[in-house]
Amino acid sequence: MRLTVFFGFGIPFLMQGHGKTRLRLQPLLTMLIFWLTLQSILLVIIGMWLQLGLAIALLIAVIVLAWPILRSTEWIWDFGRGAYRHLRDSKTAIPVKIYTVIFSLFPFGLIMPIFGPWERVQLWVRWRPYNIEAELLWRGTFATFFLSFFFTAANPKVNNAIVAFFAAHGICHSISMFFDNRITPTYGNENVEHLLEISLFMVLGLGHCLIGRYVWF
């Protein structure tokens, strides 16, 4: 599943290379650096040193390769000046305004997967055999998504590359989970709760594709 996260990060760069989209890659790169940093900290906590070395190597590579893009901080000021102002702009498309309202609230639904015990909702979020170390890393991913949803909703235009990420990740994650759930089911991953989760990821991906039509170009 974590591979779909990496795939999601790659799609916006492919879109930008296509030439028709006008994505601001700095917010996406900042999200990627935050995620790799958080994953590295969690890997230290659980003592997975080989994986830690890989995460740190990726983190350094991203910072070095992306530095020519990241050193420009203009996007931060644009984000601050434009945060939520599009809600009062009559030229802003209604779907974008609806997106901002929904995803300013939706991230708070991730607080339980980040901090709470998973036993109460394990049919939704746990796949047997249970792996506590992997679940801790997923908490870090949920925390990254929490912040990314919130900031993207505040200014979808500046964070349009993150919109592209969630579009790609939602669709790819849904397809991956459907393959595990329906095509190669095993004990603990074939239940209806996971099937509903698959649907949620697909809606998430397609919804961001819809919003992307207004903010990618």
* 209 CB-near residues (< 8 Å, 6+ apart): 167, 171
Find the mean pLDDT for residues 152-178.
93
Query: Which residue's structure tokens are 């931060």?
Result: 76
The domain tally of the chain equals 1
Handedness of CA 58, 60, 66, 70 (dihedral sign): positive
Answer yes or no: is 86 within a domain. Answer: no
Tokens of 91: 């030229």
Q: Is residue 200 part of a domain?
A: yes
Q: Is residue 83 part of a domain?
A: no
Give yes or no for residue 157 having a pLDDT over 90. Answer: yes
Q: Which residue has the tokens 């740190």?
A: 56
User: Each residue of 32-42: pLDDT tens digit?
Assistant: 999 999 999 99
Q: Report yes or no on 146 lying in a domain.
A: yes
pLDDT tens by residue, 109-133: 888 778 888 777 676 766 666 778 8
* Backbone CA torsion sign across 142, 145, 147, 150: negative
Residue 124: domain span = 2-73+93-215
User: Is residue 40 one of the residues assigned to a domain?
Assistant: yes
Q: Which two tokens stand for residue 100?
A: 């901002």
Residue 79 falls inside a structural domain: no
Asked if residue 149 is part of any domain, the answer here is yes
- pLDDT of res. 188: 59
The answer to which of 14-23, 94-103, 126-135 has the lowest mean pLDDT is: 126-135
State pTM to two decimals. Answer: 0.91
Residue 210, domain member (yes or no): yes
First to last CA, the chain: 30
Amino acid (1-letter code) at residue 91 = K
